[in-house]
Amino acid sequence: YTPRDCVAGADFIITMLPNGKLVEAVAFGDNGFAGAMKEGSLFIDMSTISPFENGAIRTRIEKAGHSMMECPVGRTSADAVTGTLLLLAGGTQDQIKKAHDLLLCMGNELIDAGGPGMGIRLKIVNNFMSIALNALSAETAVLCESMGLSLNVAIDMMKGTPAIRSHFTTTWQNKVLMGDLTPAFMVDLAHKDLGIALDIGNKLHVPMVMGAACREIYNQASGFGFGRKDWTSILVYLRNMQKGNRNS
């Protein structure tokens, strides 16, 4: 069966493929399904691909007079088996409503990410944060263990601080996200502490490339005048960087 054969008469077409080129090939390649979609059918891509690829594919589908939304998933492969995935829906209200019951066969929680393309963006953002946090946690754990400190003691202690409780839901909520940059903990002190941690790491051969990169962020933020502001102002500094500092 070719992709084209498979979609004959289908109300829903679902793809979940390793990369964007494959999604494109299945839809628009030789015997791709795009030309054979039934009137009123809905194509749901569940792959984790670039939002730019997602957008390009949706544009082509819509130009051909058809409808597409995306719905990448979260959680683990075990959840795929038990149908308890987290569904990150990116589409119009109508599309999400239409796909709702079908999607809930695969997952048990659906998040409306806010429109077409937002589902895949949400997936990318969550995965970036989770994946990078995993490596940062490992740098921290190896720093801890190489100094002879019990990792369990450290984890127990960090349960009470942003180190484990997250900044998004703690420090940021009352400071930078409220527009308050008066210091609870100053950027310059954070910068100093990073220097101490890295000096230890460089004595004990702890691999800390993320920590080393981080020190430079605080270094620059301080140079841009954030030194005596709250550490959560790093968000403002990086926002300014992204904008080419035009609004700073």
Q: How far is the CB of 12 from a second copy (least distance, A)?
A: 24
AA identity, residue 74: G
Q: Which of 25, 38, 162, 228 binds a second copy (CB under 8 A)?
A: 162
d(CA 148, CA 151): 9
At 123 the three-state DSSP class reads: helix
Q: How buried is 239 (Cβ within 10 angstroms: 0-12 exposed, 13-18 middle, 19+ buried)? A: middle
Shortest separation between residue 5's beta carbon and a second copy, angstroms: 23
Q: Which 3 state secondary structure label does DSSP give 150?
A: coil
203 contributes a contact to a second copy by CB under 8 A: yes
195 scored as a contact of a second copy (CB under 8 A): yes
Here the contacts of 96-105 (C-beta below 8 Å, separation 24 or greater) are: 96/69, 98/42, 99/12, 99/42, 99/44, 99/69, 99/71, 102/12, 103/44, 103/71
Binding marks (x or -) toward a second copy, 76..105, rule CB under 8 A? xxx-------x-x-----------------
Instruction: Report the alpha-carbon distance of residue 180 to residue 94 in Å, rounded.
Output: 39
Identify residues 40-59 at the interface with a second copy (CB under 8 A).
48-52
Active centre residues (catalytic): 123
Region for 180 from its dihedrals, namely left if φ exceeds 0, alpha if ψ lies in -120 to 50, beta otherwise: beta
In angstroms, what is the minimal distance from the CB of 205 to a second copy? 3
Question: Which residue stretch of 9-17, 37-45, 59-67, 112-120 sits at the interface with a second copy (rule: CB under 8 A)?
Answer: 112-120
Q: Which of 151, 139, 112 lies closest to 214 in space, CA to CA? A: 139
Asked if 32 is part of the footprint of a second copy (rule: CB under 8 A), the reply reads no
Residue 38 or 239: which CB sits closer to a second copy? Answer: 239
CA distance 176 to 233: 6
- Residue nearer to a second copy on the CB measure, 8 or 149: 149
Pick out residues in 126-155 that bind a second copy (CB under 8 A).
Answer: 126-150, 153-155
The pattern of x and - marking residues 173 through 192 that bind a second copy according to CB under 8 A reads: ----------xxx----xxx
Chain residues 214-233 in contact with a second copy, contact rule CB under 8 A: 214-220, 222-225, 231-232
